[in-house]
Amino acid sequence: MVRLAYTETLKRGERTSQLSWEEIHLLLSTTDLEEKQNLWDAADRVRKEWIGPEVHLRAVVEFSNYCQRNCLYCGLRKANQTLHRYRMSHREILETSIRAKEFGFQTIVLQSGEDPFYTGERIEELILAIKRETQMAIALSVGERSAKDYSAWRTAGGDRYLLKFETSSRSLFHQLRPGCKLEERIFCLQKLRQLGFEVASGNIVGLPGQTLSDLVNDILLFQKYDFDMIGIGPFISHPQTPLGSSPNGSLDLTLCVLAITRLLTRNTHLPATTAIRILSPDGCEAALAAGANILMLDFTPSIYRQHYEIYPGKGTHSIALNELPAFLASIGRKIGQGVGSRKELLKNIRDGMDQKFKNP
């Protein structure tokens, strides 16, 4: 049975995008399926109003699975001696980016573990070459680096940067990422914004030791920093990590975090993450119906893809590009045009509001 307090809170969130800590906790803590569905539907309406039917595609190239970190939840952790390690060459990365452009992608995401082999200069050369050959928007996801590197990459033509904070709980962050500090990650995110990057962050839902209160704080942190994209995915346990025996995160709870984030951030890009698709064969559709508007498609060459195993099955749940138009049309959506930057989206929203004002 849907509670009156829940309904009133949900309506306020949809109408104003402003909710208190207690109100977010109320929405997030529901166990009632009808209440959850009402939340997902409200997020879908907000997505429709602020973003429209377009689903923007990103081609992800995971060019190295070496990592100097030992995060307790990640299969790429340095201590995992069972993982076949690889590094793509400059030429391989460039050729893969060119093929992605030929397939119609407008954005390339260069992602890796925190691998010091790829120095600031090497990545700068990659950005320059990809820009020269493809003119694509370039997003980077290579972890915490120096302000000097970030600045050089931005000058070279880097457009976006993805750096998930994973959890806003300092104690949990320090526990799960030995030798790392949440404060340093937030500093990096702030520096990236100052340099003019479109900044993406995100969290993991269902981490061992995580509470609903932690997730409420995650959502408020999303809203505070007004990230341009927010990746929200469930925890998937990896057998070669210290958390290998822990249960996976909940699909429903992940969708609720996603939906509330849509209510509070309005036009932020929200991907239907691969981890969601691993939890359920219908996970992609469910996420798109709960506020998501981005699909990150794995464009890593097949000889490497299976080895970028952050969690089991990651390299085997890619979406067939040729099936996407029909799939999206079946749920009232379509592939987005252009580079899909949030700045571009904000301009379209402003133009649309101006037009409404002129022609009420």
Q: Which residues contact 4 (CB under 8 A, 6 or more apart)?
A: none
Q: For the residues of 217-238, what is the DSSP string, one character each?
A: HHHHHHHHHT-SEEEEEE----
The predicted pLDDT at position 343 comes to: 80
Residue 56: closest CA among 334, 348, 351: 334
pLDDT at 263 over 50: yes
Query: What CATH number has the domain bearing residue 31?
Result: 3.20.20.70
Q: Which two tokens stand for residue 277?
A: 């698709």
Asked if residue 58 lies in contact with residue 303, where contact means CB atoms within 8 angstroms, the answer is no
Q: Which residues contact 48 (CB under 8 A, 6 or more apart)?
A: none
Q: What is the DSSP letter of 162?
A: E
Give the distance, in angstroms, between the CA of residue 13 and the centroid of all CA atoms in the same chain: 22
The predicted pLDDT at position 269 comes to: 98
State the total domains in the chain: 1
How far, CA to CA in Å, does 57 sit from each of 95, 122, 301, 350? 19, 26, 18, 23
SS3 at position 57: strand
Per-residue pLDDT tens over the stretch 171-206: 999 999 999 999 999 999 999 999 999 999 999 999
Mean pLDDT of 19-28: 98
Residue entry with tokens 């119609």: 104
Q: Between the CA atoms of 238, 258, 286 and 298, what dihedral angle is there, to the nearest 10 degrees?
A: -50
SS3 at position 327: helix
Q: Which residues contact 247 (CB under 8 A, 6 or more apart)?
A: 206, 237
pLDDT at 360 over 60: no
Q: What is the DSSP letter of 144?
A: S
The predicted pLDDT at position 345 comes to: 73
Q: How confident is the model at residue 2 (pLDDT cuts 50, 70, 90)?
A: very high
What CA–CA distance (Å, rounded) separates 83 from 259? 35
What CA–CA distance (Å, rounded) separates 51 from 29? 27
What CA–CA distance (Å, rounded) separates 278 from 267? 26
Quick one: angle between helices 90-102 and 120-134, nearest 10?
30
Phi and psi angles of residue 204, each rounded to the nearest 5 degrees, phi first = -120, 130
Q: For the residues of 283-318, what is the DSSP string, one character each?
A: HHHHHHTTT--EEEEE-S-HHHHTT--SSTTGGG-P
Q: Which two tokens stand for residue 269?
A: 């890009």
- Show the domain range for 41: 4-358
For β-strands 334-335 and 294-298, DSSP reports them as unpaired
What CA–CA distance (Å, rounded) separates 318 from 325? 15
Mean pLDDT of 221-241: 98
Per-residue pLDDT tens over the stretch 59-102: 999 999 999 999 999 999 999 999 999 999 999 999 999 999 99
Residue entry with tokens 């081609």: 59
Residue 49: closest CA among 330, 255, 358, 345: 345
Residue 210: closest CA among 178, 242, 166, 251: 166
The predicted pLDDT at position 100 comes to: 97
Q: Where are the alpha helices (DSSP H) in the chain?
A: 4-16, 21-28, 33-50, 90-102, 120-134, 147-156, 170-176, 182-194, 212-225, 251-265, 274-279, 283-288, 302-305, 324-330, 342-358
Q: Which residues is 324 bridged to in the sheet?
A: none
